[in-house]
Structure 1
């Protein structure tokens, strides 16, 4: 078989070499199509690839490329036959899109000399999604949202969710969102239409139960919190993760959530609504601590949400982490889409088996990029592969990659493409890569036109020993521990002491050498910033509270970080991260001895 076929993303299920000449796409070619939107998107990629667009007609005497529908194929299924003419047959609009993306890859990989072949392909999992947190740190600029949608579509992702808790302009909730760079209704409508045209269903997802920290700290809604006087507590990234669940015995709580749902739901084409309902840590723990059946109360409140959304003609989606550990799983309806999540490298098979009794099932893996400057890619790839195995085993209808914004969401957003592309590709194929370096190579050549830069990413991540989460915990008086007795911190301190930065320096040298020849210089500049951030973070000694370096270099790193942040994102909650850096310089002391 032709060498470059195995470098396609995804790898097609069937490829047959034909006898005949290769074809070179030329600017006088004519594209005949049964769908002009699919042709328009193909032409946009063709322009990026070759510098010209093709004339598009519904009927042409001498068409060179033909897009047509075949009612015998599934909606996303397609075939491509190349020869003197490129003939595409697809079962639906998405099939035409995906065939077009495959042709673009063939042009790039064959250097625009596509051999005579027949490709047949279809997805292994019907719904392949990417879930992006836009509520706990970053709020992307609209153009970056669209760029992400384009990249997800190319990766065969057909569902996306943007998680919102306090970053949408809910009417009457100005106290909640006024300083958060929130999405507006017009933004949602525009992004929903943009995604739809690219074969992506934008699914609404809001916090309706737990994770309402920002809402329940306001004067207007503080009385609805399960905790007493939540507005009196000092602001904390840690508390935001762990606290502020609704008092579900206060009727006003349901009325608030109902109002939010009723405003948000109609903005989307999707027939699905994700109510979240995960990690209700404060459930009946304070005002209602005498409740004898806390999980029963959870179930009852969820059912109220479910019934309300069903009354709108929509299907409910929710996380399964609370019900998974109880017997109430059998009491909740089977027509809910349950999202089962585990972000560890090796998820527990027994829990996956338990939720598998539900017919509408989704398995969710994670980027493992939260809490860090750069993600833990090794864990991510293992996690995706293993959760995918469960999805195939239990014939799941949904497979999602999630990216959360814990502790201010500091990772660089442009590195997400390598994550969601892998998840989308392997969900389509139905199996993960046995050798991850093969994927890294294929991704690098296709999207970066270079293997060296993308090969630098995982080694940089290995040097990231002291994480942002650990630094934040070191600042919060409620969570301070004696780090001299903390085995994890002791071990990390030993790892930092043993680091040989020569390899990291060599990676930095490679990246600087690539800069003059690289089209997307921001990727390299982001990686260089990450390297500097890793060096700075590793100089925090969590046992002695010494900083083994200069705060000037820490400030220089953060200054560059903020410039990169503002390139792709609105201001969002950047000020919260700035406050963390200020507090670190007050909490730690510069050491006279500086480690290189």
Structure 2
């Protein structure tokens, strides 16, 4: 067993925010050790410390052929930037040993204990922090010259060692602690997957800065989910009004990721979830239900339908043309074809064929054809695994080179789907979720349980990699800056394999979750108390409803998103009352037809609710009755009933939790003003959404309806400013449409 195996995950967080003394500890009299995330496999802290010189160099002691051209000095440059920004030190880079070299970067490809992605980091001290005398030579293994040495089995491992040192510099410089670290990742592929198709398209500058953060936390793959948010040639009707990414954007981001050691993989929806494409006049005939293309825009319906006709040859030609245009913009040798949630397959235009040959055959043949196109270009295909898992016979018909992205987002992860794919022999990447979708304040407790348990499950069944997904359902209300704590926790899960000892059942308990939040607070946000992330989680849990309640309420009226008639949506053919400018519309009571699609969706999600059991929303006479019953159902819901029963007390608990977050923000030294604003805006959004529904329900202690309406509208204007700090305009109008629909209802 080499030095990097056998200790994976045994250093568990202590409640104080550091580590328990299980390979990580130091004596109580020493300075508290810094936080390192992801947690290294083996760490031994010494009692010494070393002062960094005012002038020194970083020595790159490895041959040119150990790294791709142009990338050699990227790790050293990252260190120079952190030294300058953290400690005001301006050092140099050398490519040979020098007397003034304080940091040495070396690659030992022949080292038996260092795989290509593994590294060893040693900081030698010259002063004992406890006794204030010369450091212990025994700890330094005979090398008493103060300084830092990172030795790696390959350039990849060197990158990871440098990220660990950067975290130490950010917390400790200009004095570093004595330490020995040996480390490597549990999963060779660690992917972050960001939705840029459901309403929010980030700016290129923000995407680059986020890639920088992914590199710091040792991700090595990045994907953006695209349906229509790229300016495909000849398809402007599909992407108009979406502020789409361009080829130049993707080429620039691809180069930036390559510099960081991140494989930027193209990901394109090619089967299901083609809502905008199949609403265009050019492509609508290719859908399973072409007659549905003219329905008013709906944030809910865009997630439920719009599967392409897999039996139509023109469908394949159109999708292949999109792949051929999109994939070459990336240097990656992988392509994610998605092909998930083909809800309408075999139900519409392909119903007769599916009845004859089977939906599984229809699905597999279409996907195999697209995979062959990708393989012919020298790339390897990926697809989401859900459809194949639902119909295991598909697994035998899929190409052998396809990687299955096996997504399981439940906090209590079932093993059966992971074991099924493993038994089939297919290569799989297990995919967790950040539980940010549909939320003003992310549900990080659910995310923590999901990522840690799935990471352990994936290793058990030999998964090739680990992915965490950040979706943006219902207009992408969730600000991606607020995903960072979840991103870091998922990075730790992917690197450590779930951070658990073998056969350990309590590594994802509340104490471990609290300790992870404390560690993230200290490292990422510079909160010396370690409280910020935990208090933010607690504030979110004191809220009552999520953004999805707003969307469901608005869209129970057909065309209830009051932005739907702005002319920007392909296929919109709502009534004149719906399409008219807001101030010119007829009274809502005169134009409130029920959206039966949305009503059935809500019924399916709330089927156990007593109000829905008594009379499903899909049986209501119109949208207004459905909205009224929906509010009554929320009040009766077991999850919310106690809060609505004593709403002033629930509101008071939330306000106290929000005050705690504000206090934490005041002392968090690494939170910039815009991130503070994003956090505060999300909490205010939670408050005004809860107040709006309390007013609609007429519960005791609720705000006046006019006051609640104005609070929603005032909040949205600030939210729009915060959105534009990191995102293009994109589909912000649909968020506004939901807010205004609820505000209008409050005043009606």
Number of the residue aligned with 2:137: none
2:537 maps to 458
- SS across alignment from 1:152: helix
2:679 pairs with one of 521, 527, 533? 527
Query: Which residue of 1 is the match for residue 340 of structure 2?
Result: 278
User: How many aligned positions are there?
Assistant: 589
2:255 matched to 1:193? yes
The answer to whether the aligner puts 1:183 opposite 2:245 as a matched pair is yes
State the shift of 1:515 in Å. Answer: 5.6
- 1:342 corresponds to which of 400, 405, 408: 408
Distance 2:665 2:635 in 1: 38
Match 1:496 to one of 606, 630, 644? 644
Deviations along 1:26-69, one digit per CA (max 9) or x if unpaired, are 33011111431221122122222212331101114211111111
State the partner residue of 1:593: none
Q: Is contact 1:340-1:362 (8 Å) kept?
A: yes
Is 1:250–2:312 an aligned residue pair?
A: yes
Q: Which residue of 2 aligns with 1:388?
A: 455
Q: Distance in 2 between matches of 1:436 and 1:337?
A: 31
Query: CA, structure 1 residues 489+98, in 2 after alignment: closer, same or farther (shift >3 Å)?
Result: farther
Deviation readout 1:516-560 (Å, 9 max, x if unpaired) = 655512233222222221111113448966684421111111111
Decide whether the 8 Å contact of 1:140 with 1:570 is kept in 2.
Answer: yes
Change (3 A) 1:523 1:12: same
Separation (CA, whole Å) in 1 of partners of 2:33 and 2:265: 33
From the superposition, tell whether residues 222 and 359 of structure 1 become closer, same or farther in structure 2 (CA, over 3 Å). Answer: closer
- Structure 1: gaps spanning 5 or more residues: 591-596
Q: Using a 3 Å threshold, how does the CA distance of structure 1 residues 347 and 542 change in structure 2: closer, same or farther?
A: farther
CA distance in 1, matches of 2:552, 2:658: 30
Instruction: Kindly indicate whether the alpha-carbon contact (under 8 Å) linking 1:545 and 1:587 is maintained by their aligned counterparts in 2.
Output: no
Counterpart Cα distance in 2 of 1:179 and 1:484: 32
- Structure 2 residues not aligned, in runs of 5+: 1-24, 63-71, 125-145, 500-506, 557-594, 600-616, 618-628
> Would you say 1:445 and 2:522 are equivalent positions?
yes
Q: CA, structure 1 residues 184+246, in 2 after alignment: closer, same or farther (shift >3 Å)?
A: same
Write the distance in 1 (CA, Å) between the matches of 2:241 and 2:416. 43
When normalised by structure 2's length, the TM-score is 0.75
1:207-244 CA distance string (max 9 Å, x none): 00110000110111111111032332111111100111
Q: CA deviation at 1:23?
A: 1.8
The SS at the match of 2:58 is strand
Shift of 1:511: 4.2
Indicate if the aligned counterparts of 1:224 and 1:253 stay in contact, CA closer than 8 A: yes
Q: CA offsets, 1:369-389, max 9 Å, x none?
A: 111211111111111111111
Distance 1:222 1:367 in 2: 33
C-alpha distance in 2 between matches for 1:214 and 1:497: 42
How far, CA to CA, are the matches of 1:135 and 1:107 in structure 2?
37
Give the superposition deviation at 1:297: 0.5
| 1:511–1:13 Cα change, 3 Å | closer
Deviation by residue 1:434-492 (Cα, 9 ceiling, x = unmatched): 41111111111111110233232111211232222122122222233243784885332
Q: Which has the larger radius of gyration?
A: 2
Matching of residue 74 in structure 1 with residue 115 in structure 2: yes
Contact 1:489 1:542 in 2 (8 A): no
CA separation of 1:403/1:297 partners in 2, compared to 1, >3 Å: closer, same or farther? same
Match status 1:261 vs 2:318: no
What's the counterpart of residue 560 of structure 2? Answer: none
Deviates more, 1:493-502 or 1:178-187: 493-502
Moved more, 449-458 or 503-512: 503-512
1:212 aligns with 274
Moved more, 391-400 or 9-18: 9-18
Q: What's the secondary structure of 1:328's corresponding residue?
A: helix
SS in 2 for 1:444: helix
**Does structure 2 conserve the Cα–Cα contact (< 8 Å) formed by 1:283 and 1:294?**
yes
Aligned partner of 1:572 in structure 2 is 730
Select which of 551, 569, 580 maps to 1:472: 551
1:91 to partner: Cα distance: 2.0
Q: Give the CA deviation at 1:513.
A: 4.3
Give 1:114 shift. Answer: 2.4
Q: Give the Cα separation in 2 of the matches to 1:464 and 1:137.
A: 24
Give the conservation status (yes or no) of the 8 Å contact 1:545–1:589: no
Q: Deviations over 1:137-172 (max 9, x none)?
A: 111111110111011111111101001110111111
CA contact (8 A) 2:118 2:185 kept: yes
Q: Distance in 1 between matches of 2:307 and 2:695?
A: 34
2:41 aligned partner: 13
TM-score (norm 1): 0.94
From 58, 63, 67, give the equivalent of 2:95: 58
Determine the C-alpha separation between the residues in 1 that align with 2:673 and 2:696: 39
Match of 2:478 in 1: 411
Q: State which drifts further: 362-371 or 321-330.
A: 321-330
What is the rounded CA distance, in whole Å, between the counterparts of 1:5 and 1:387 in structure 2? Answer: 29
1:555 equivalent to 2:582? Answer no
Q: Distance in 2 between matches of 1:456 and 1:504?
A: 11
Aligned partners of 2:418 and 2:458 also within 8 Å:
no
Q: Is the 8 A contact 2:553 2:630 kept in 1?
A: no
SS in structure 2 at match of 1:501: helix
Could you tell me which residue of structure 1 aligns to residue 286 of structure 2?
A: 224
Partners of 2:34 and 2:74 in 1: CA distance:
29
